[in-house]
């Protein structure tokens, strides 16, 4: 099993596994895909890139297969939010959380997702808050 990156949508709370083909969340406001190098992803800002420690995931799968009816600490995995400094995650301008329409179904928007302190502006190339990263125009 190769590496795996997941995309978290702050609009609807959906988590989507990324593939070379463009994939979108349930509400369609966040999307992403792998580039041809097989490790770099492109995804919309302000979605989050999630990582899972692949060896942990493989060990958890083996533990579950051995005893699927019982919990084991071996089923725990390390996971994280990839920081803006992550070189193999490229961001493109998406729908800012603050631009939600009034007619949006409030049940589909998570209350925990908050926009960053500084939203990227709508110019072709601009910095993402923190770490001097850029949001690329698609």
- The list of the chain residues with pLDDT below 70 reads 1-3, 99-138
* 49 DSSP β-pair partners: 7
Q: Which two tokens stand for residue 114?
A: 């908050």
- Per residue in 96-132, pLDDT (tens digit) is 987 655 444 444 333 333 333 333 333 333 334 444 4
Residue 126, judged by CB atoms within 10 A of its CB (0-12, 13-18, 19+), counts as middle
What local confidence, expressed as pLDDT, does residue 4 receive? Answer: 82
Q: Report whether 1 contacts 52 (CB < 8 A).
A: no
Given this model, what pLDDT does residue 99 score? 61
Helix, strand, or coil here: 54? helix
pLDDT value of position 98: 79
Residue 41, SS3 per DSSP? strand
| pLDDT value of position 134 | 54
Q: From CA 94, how far away is CA 106, in angstroms rounded?
A: 19
Establish how many alpha carbons lie within 13 A of residue 81's alpha carbon, considering only the half-sphere containing its beta carbon: 9
76 close to 56: Cβ distance less than 8 angstroms: yes
Give the position of tokens 């302190």.
117
Residue extents of the structural domains in the chain:
5-136
Q: CA-to-CA distance for 115 and 98, rounded, in angstroms?
A: 7
């Amino acid at each position: 099993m190769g590496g795996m990156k997941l995309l978290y949508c702050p609009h609807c709370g959906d988590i989507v596994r990324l593939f070379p083909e463009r994939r979108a969340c349930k509400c369609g406001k966040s999307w992403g895909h792998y580039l041809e190098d097989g490790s770099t992803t492109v995804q919309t800002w302000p979605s989050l890139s999630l990582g899972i420690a692949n060896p942990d995931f493989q060990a958890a799968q083996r533990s579950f297969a051995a005893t699927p009816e019982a919990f084991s600490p071996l089923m725990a995995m390390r996971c994280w939010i990839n920081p803006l400094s992550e070189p193999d995650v490229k961001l493109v301008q998406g729908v800012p959380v603050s631009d939600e329409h009034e007619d949006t179904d409030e049940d589909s928007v998570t209350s925990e997702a908050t926009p960053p302190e500084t939203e990227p502006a709508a110019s072709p190339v601009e910095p993402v808050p923190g770490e001097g990263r850029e949001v690329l125009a698609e």
